[in-house]
Structures are given as structure tokens and as C-alpha cells.
Structure 1
Amino acid sequence: MSTNVSSISQSQAPIVEFEPAKHELLACPAASCLTKEVFMHRFLLNNRDELIARCKAKVAQRPLRAATDKQLAHGVPMFLDQLTRTLSAEDDDELDLSIAISGPSGGDTLALSEIGVSATAHGKELLNLGYTVDQVVHDYGDLCQAITDLAFERDAPFAVVEFRTLNRCLDNAIADAVTEFSAQRDAQISVQQLAGEKQRLGFLVHELRNSLGTATLAVRALELGHMAISGATGAVLKRSLSTLGLLISRATAEVRGEGADQRQTFSVASFIADVDLVARLDVARKGAVFEVRTVDPSLAILANRDLLHAALANLLQNAFKYTQENSMVTLSAYASGEQVLIDVEDHCGGLPPGGAAKMFIPFSPNSDSRAGLGLGLSIARQSIEADNGTLTVRDVPGSGCIFTISLPLPSSS
């Protein structure tokens, strides 16, 4: 085995000057290296590409973690360069420079070192890529293992003080990367929790407002028509007040951490008739024509009746709002295979491109384009999915939309 020693010395002269015996040791046969120490920073410099390749190979063996050069930019390559510079500075007795690059043992609570800055960036990058905290530790552990393995293979013994420096650099890098990873993750969790609380509160306020609005309409109808409260409109008022009470009770139970399955089997025809009474109070203000098709009286469904009623009411309010003036909104319910389907068809004129995909996003601003309709449709979908059902929309270009609730038929057993 032969090596051009003078060539190596010239190319690396600006970095550090080596004692001839130690310098030549890097090129010597393995048998003659067993009793001599090797400068670790020279070893790292000469084998940089090999060490990075070995780290990538280790990373590639882990599920869902195929590292790219960009992803590793603040990881192994940068850390390896910083480690090399730290070791070189210590060999030249430039201890202040060594500490500035890699930090003191135990880290610096007042200011991050170069290694600390890049390690925090690496920790943040791994979080954004969806990885876990153990991956942060593994990335730096891979390099330590790669250095140890390659040094053993090349019979390159290092001084104890250099291993101490290696451990100090790894310890500071891992600590700073994990700290940043954890801080960023906690911040994300906090934002998600706040968003979830905002959404739940928004849903509750939306449903309370709907029920209060229906009760108000019923009271006005009773006053204008001088009708008895024992009639159909009075029944709408009573149901609305009952729904208000249920919403408050449900919110109270959620605060207490309580929950229960409130599903029941009920007649679809009777359910649609109740929805019809409420909807006709609303449609009278919107200038639309409302048609309810006949429902098979034997058809039954297992669901949370109050949630389903609220969901269907939101679909109808949406249809009345966007259907063209004096056009028809149609409500129908029927069995299809093992499913009960409830359709709400309007004549809004159809959806713009991509409109269907945006309709169920909560807190989207209302617009005449129908792309994003606030909370109503999002609430409807969540309520139906809670009953193991689905809510979909089908665009009829030039005509309108058909919203379909699909729920499984009750089991015969």
C-alpha cells in the first residue's frame, strides 16, 4: 500500500501542521500502526465521504427514514466538519476556538455553540419531516458508531483525550437537537389543542344559534298566526328548546369527560316529517320551493337522532341559502343495498372547479362561489361520521348539487 504523503501535507497545510511520525502513520501498513496514535481530526478529514456514506446506509435501514443530502445538511456532514475543526483547534492548543465551535462539557446555557446552532436546526427539520425524538439521537449515534467501526477496520488508535472531545461534541449536539425538537413539538401540540378547542366551541355556538333561530321562527309563526302551541308549530318550538337543552348537556358532559352512546333505532319517515316541519319555517324566508318525497314507512335507521337532525338541518339551510330564487330544494330518503340514503338536492347552478373538495373545511369564509361554507357542512359531516356514516356531495353541472347522507341499515340480529 503506497500513499503520496507530501501531496496530503500540502493540501491540508492551512488547517494544521503534523509531526512527521504521526502524519506518516495514516499511510502506514496496519501492522505498524498498532502502537502509535493517530490524529482523529486528520482521520476524519481523510475519511469524510466514507463516514457520511456509512451514516446514510444506517439511516436507510430504518423504516420511513430515507435521508437526503438536504435533510442531512444540519446533521451528520455539518457535525462531522465541526467535530474535525474542534479536534484540530485542540491539537493546536486553541481552546477558546474549540469551545466556540462545540461548547463546553455540559453545554452553555447562555449561548449556543456552532454545533448547538446546527443541531437545533437539525432537530427542527426532523420534527417537520414527521420523525420522532429517537431519530434525533440515532442520527448522531450513527456517526459515533461509523467512526469507531472505521477506526477499528483501519487499525487507527486515537488518544483518550480525543475520544473525550468526541463524546463532548456528541453530548452537546444531541442535547441541543433534542431540546429544540421537544420545544417545537410542544409548540405544535399546543397550537393543535387550541385549534381543536376553537373548533369545538365554534361547533357548539353554531348549533346553539341554529336551534335558537328555529325556536324564534316558531314563536313568530305562533304570534302571527294566533296558533295554539299544541299544534305542529308548537311542536317545532318544543323540539328546538329540547335541542338547546341537549346541546348544553352534551357540552357539560364533554367538560366532565363523560360520554355515552345515544344512538337509537327510529322510523326514517317520522324523522323526515319532523325535519320537514322545521325546514318549512326557514324556507318561507328564502324564496325557494321545498319538496319532500314520500318515504317508505317501514324504513328504520340506527343513529343519534338529535345529531342527525342537526346535520340534515345544516344541509337544508345551506341548500335554501344557495339555490336560485324560486327553484326547488328536494329532500328524499330511501334504502339502497345495506344503506339508508338521505339526499338534499338544490339548484345552485353547480360548483366551480375544486369546489367540492373545499366545502367541508371548517372556518372557511362564506362566498357565493360555494367554495368553503363555514361551519355548517363541517358539523354535518362530523355528526354523520360519528354514526359510522358518510356525507358526500355530487356536482350536477349547470343545475346544482346533491348532498347524500349514507348510514348503515340496522342489523337484523
Structure 2
Amino acid sequence: MMYEFLINNRTNLAARCREKVALRPGRMASKLQLQNGVPMLLDQLIRTLAAENTSQSIVAFGISGPENGDLAFSEIAISAVEHARELLVLGFSVKQVVHDYGDLCQSITDLAIERKITFTIHEFRTLSRCLENATADAVTEFSYQRDLIEANKVTKENNDRLRHFVHELRNLLGTTSLAFTAAKSSRLNLSGSTGVILEKSILNLGRLIDSSVDDINEIVRQKIVLNTFPISSFIAEVLSSAELSYENIKCELRLMPVDPDLATSGNRSLLLIALVRILQNAVKFTQPNNHVVLAVYASGDQIQIDVKDNCSDVDTQEVDSTHSQSTQIDRDRIGSSLILAIAKQSVVSYGGSLSIQNQSEIGWVVKISIPRRPVVN
């Protein structure tokens, strides 16, 4: 079994990956710097296989992500995002990001051939899923952070050019004022009414330049401060609002870890109302003693918000056994659809998107995508 093979050879596989990294040109990083890379992925792969061996597919997907490549919160996604950030800080390219995860696949394959060990098709699929999801999440985050750095660089260069332009313009204005003063002192025609108007215009132009620079800086500062907010504090407010407005909660609202470096911008109140309604709706249809999961994670220039309910305990035969009960369920479902439709309008007005996925025998997942912005310090 691949599970036993990985446990018995974990140290060997990690060493082989480090050797491959060391042979790569320009690759010098400590184990601590790359702790979110191959070693953590190897542990997550082992835990995924262990969960699948005990038929705990939900736990396995929570560790390694879905099979179909859809966006979803997972442990592998979180560690891959951190790994990508570390590589970017160290100055590596996106090609080296891909190679890091390819090293693990190659090391597993080489060692298995040496030991004459074979794996099942299902185990290979699990390995492939883990590596593909890790690579996709790492590359997406790496590209976003790299583009963000380039965009900030361009913005800074533009601002520096603008400040230089204003400075030069002010110098020219000073020269013009001195020339006018000299002309006026020589009793040229400029000392008449035309000259007075010209003098006032020059002075007013100087005041306009000074005030416009201050105004532009203030507008930019206010726009950034007012419209951008961290997701972590926003989600905490959402949970508080949802719990206070929904009485007799019989299920658990479970929040997955939220990256403190995630932020968005826009109408905070509009997004708050939409997400609270979605949570209330999920709580309503989740059976007692189960849980509703709220997961927030990055995906390139977007932030994904997943709300997962748990309706797997519903007995459809029992629901259909009485007409009155079935009618009540239908009414509730119609109300649920209306709530989600209203929430979707709010999310779209905010500048995001909303979709719903049906997880067979588990429940529903409402997926929200909103723009991602850099954190304002």
C-alpha cells in the first residue's frame, strides 16, 4: 500500500527531494524557510491516504481538496499558498514552484521502482490529485503576488514621475514670476491692467498646484482606508451577526482558519448582509448535532468564501411519507431559494459572484467569489 510505503520511507523521500532541490541552479533555502513545501505535502498525502483507507472521503477531501479541480478550502491549498509566498520572497520563478512538487512525485516513483513496489490505480489517482491541487494553488498564489508586486512598482514609478513633474512645474513658475517682476520693475506695458491680471493668474496657478497635490493625496488615502478591509475581522463580525439573529441554533458554526493577509474592498455592509443570510439559510437546513462550515481562502486575485451545510441525515423516504410534511419542506425550499437569490444579488452588486454546488449525500455548498486587495497597513 502507498500509505505504508510513504510512512516507512518518509525520511528517505524528503532527503531525495532536498537533493533534487540542491541540484537546481540558484536554489538555496533553509528547511525552516520551506517548511510549507514538500515535507508538509508528504504528511498531507499520508493523512489523505489514511482517511481514504477508512472510507472517510470527506476528511480526505478536506486535507487534499476535490478531485475535479474545483476551488475549495483544503489543508494542501493553505500550505501551498504559504510555500508560494516563500519562494517569491526568495526570488524564485514560477517554473521552480512547479518543480518543487514534481520532485516529490519523481522521488516516490523512483523509490517504488527500486523497491519493486506497485500501487493501485486509486492510490495513483490520490497522489495525482494531491500534487495537482498543490501545484495549482501554489502557482495561482505565486502569480498573484508577483503581479501585485509589479503593479505596486508601476504605481510607485508613476507617482514619482508625477511628483517630479509638479516639482519642475513649480520651478518654472518661480522663474516666470521672477521674469515678470523684472519686466514690471522696468516699467514695461506689462505693468498695466493686463500685467496685473497675468500676475494674479500666475499666483493662483501656484496655489492651485499646491492644493491639487494635497487633494489628490488625501483622496487616494481616504479611498484606500475606507474601501479596503481585512477579511478576518469581517468574518468574525459575520459570525456574531448570524448567531445573534438566529435563535435556537442546534448545529455548530465552524470557521476554518482565515489568512490575516487577505483583504477586499467595496461595500462592506452589502457583503455582510448577503453572507449572514446565507449562513442563516445553511443553519436552517442542517440537521441537529451537525455543523455548518465557513471557509475563506485565496485564489489568485479573488477571495473564495464557502458555506457548507450538512443535510446528509435527512431521510427522503420519511419526508415523502406524509403529504403535509412534504408540503412544508417544499415551502421551506422555496423560501430558501428566495433567500439565496437575494443574497446573490447583493454579492453581484458588490462585484463578486455566487454559485451553488450539491455535494451528494453531504449537503450544499454556497461559493462566493469577491475581489482580492492588498492589506492596508
Larger radius of gyration: 1
Greater helix proportion: 2
